[in-house]
Amino acid sequence: MNIGILGLGTVGGGVVNVLTKNQAEIMRRTGAQIQITHAAIRDIKQSRICSTDGIQLTQDPFEIVNNDSIDIVLELIGGTTLAKELVEVAIKNGKHVITANKALIAIHGNELLTLAKDNNTHLLFEASVAGGIPILKSLEQGLSANQIEMVAGIINGTGNFILSEMCDKSRDFDNVLKEAQELGYAEADPTFDVEGIDAAHKLTILSAIAFGCELQFDKVSTEGISEISDEDMIFATELGYSIKHLGIAKKLDGKIQMRVHPTLIPKTKLLANVNGVMNAVLVKGNAVGPTLYYGAGAGDEATASAVIADLIDVIKNTVSNDTLGWHSLKAMPYQNQDDIESIFYLRLLAADKPGVLADITAIFVNNNISVEAVMQKQIDEQDNAHIAIITNQVKTSDINTAAAEIQKHSSIQEKIKIIHVETLD
């Protein structure tokens, strides 16, 4: 089989390097010698992490996707414009396509998968979610006997690095973000990572594979981590929680919910102990119960590990998400955001006057919300107090109504912070 690669940057270079260093082991597992035969690169002269010996180079990526001698195309250039066009041409030319491009699949996956099905080719994207962790294959194959009830993952390493540093070292958001940028974990414009868009792309893909629903990126409710403060970290810790930026997808009563947001989770849970840039995904199946998959979510060779696993599946024809046959993603109803039930953490800054807590409690009662825990801290000389409240399981609309009412109370000094709590049970 001839394999053409689009892009020889971090991931593409990693693929070439791993194929070279693990040649013997891959031969043992596949019976085949796998080599990249063609590569499209932007700049011939640029220095790169891999050797290009034996690879036919071109600066025109369309030469790869239109080359009749190439059977499999690896799309590793990223983006959703040129990448989409190249993948479409490759599929129409009957080539199998493997990509690490989460945005491409999350946004254009439905049409690309249909196109692949119509052209009898495979379109695989294990590397698009959680880097080297074989989470898509586990969902499709290892857990194939299960109805998946929930997927909850730390699927953005940058965000997890920032929250881990804030929690462990009491650093503030801006300070850690700057370090993350210096370390190369975060982009100059960190919006994609920090505001949860990258995680939402990945959650869209996870949901589709877990539940068999269409890829619907626009149905993910997304909230970033930039508003998490020192006070929230301290309260969370004292209440027995960690704050993690989770992508959560659930299927309840036939309806899907997908949301990316900061989440308080009990410190005793494994997910709470996943720190730094590492990723982990918790999957609950109705037969197997809770399972968890942990590993590197990025990096040249970790991502290459997932790309090559797809490559081996295509070569050995052990592909499970069988776009050739019975398999197609179905439209499924989404749960209305207001109807989603959750436990919530609220943090208020209130003037410490008699009766404030009683007034707040009354508002909760009026909105049918029970309070599971309250913690109060004096913080300044103006007698203002931070108050943290953990509710019971309530509808999102109820907590929003209650918070809006409390916000109007004369003692409240700043915008009320609301964060989801998940017990992960």
The catalytic residues are 202
Distances (CA, A) of 18 to 27, 103, 120, 300, 305: 13, 25, 29, 9, 7
Structure tokens at 72: 């499999």
Closer to a second copy by CB, 214 or 301: give it: 301
Q: Are 423 and 391 in contact (CB under 8 A)?
A: no
Render 67-127 in DSSP notation, one character per residue.
-TT--EEEE-S-SSSHHHHHHHHHHHTT-EEEE--HHHHHHHHHHHHHHHHHTT--EE-GG
Closer to a second copy by CB, 21 or 377: give it: 21
Q: Compute the least distance from the CB of residue 32 to a second copy, in Å.
A: 8
Closer to a second copy by CB, 125 or 192: give it: 125
Closest CA to 374 of 382, 366, 385: 385
Closer to a second copy by CB, 277 or 394: give it: 277
Q: E strands within 106-252?
A: 123-124, 148-154, 221-222, 241-252
Closer to a second copy by CB, 88 or 126: give it: 126
Q: Compute the least distance from the CB of residue 75 to a second copy, in Å.
A: 17
Q: Are 98 and 307 in contact (CB under 8 A)?
A: yes
CB burial of residue 11 (10 Å; 0-12, 13-18, 19+): buried
Distances (CA, A) of 217 to 162, 222, 223, 255, 258: 24, 10, 14, 16, 9
Closer to a second copy by CB, 22 or 93: give it: 22
Q: Compute the least distance from the CB of residue 147 to a second copy, in Å.
A: 5
Closer to a second copy by CB, 226 or 299: give it: 299
Residue type, 310: D
Residue type, 125: F
Q: Compute the least distance from the CB of residue 235 to a second copy, in Å.
A: 22
Distances (CA, A) of 296 to 9, 143, 209, 278: 18, 21, 20, 5
Closer to a second copy by CB, 288 or 362: give it: 288
Q: Compute the least distance from the CB of residue 175 to a second copy, in Å.
A: 23
Q: Compute the least distance from the CB of residue 361 to a second copy, in Å.
A: 35
CA–CA distance, 113 with 117 (Å, rounded to integer): 6
Residue type, 127: A
Question: Furthest-apart CA pair in the chain: how many Å?
Answer: 80
Q: Compute the least distance from the CB of residue 340 to a second copy, in Å.
A: 23
CA–CA distance, 12 with 152 (Å, rounded to integer): 29
List residues near a second copy by CB under 8 A: 14, 18-19, 21-22, 25-26, 28-31, 126, 132-134, 137-138, 140-147, 212, 268, 270, 273-274, 280, 285-296, 299, 301-302, 304-309, 311-313, 316, 318-320, 322, 325-327
Q: Which residues pair with 296 in a beta bridge?
A: 278
Calculate the dihedral angle through the C-alpha atoms of 323, 333, 99, 67, rounding to the nearest 10 degrees: 50
CA–CA distance, 59 with 7 (Å, rounded to integer): 10
CA–CA distance, 214 with 220 (Å, rounded to integer): 12
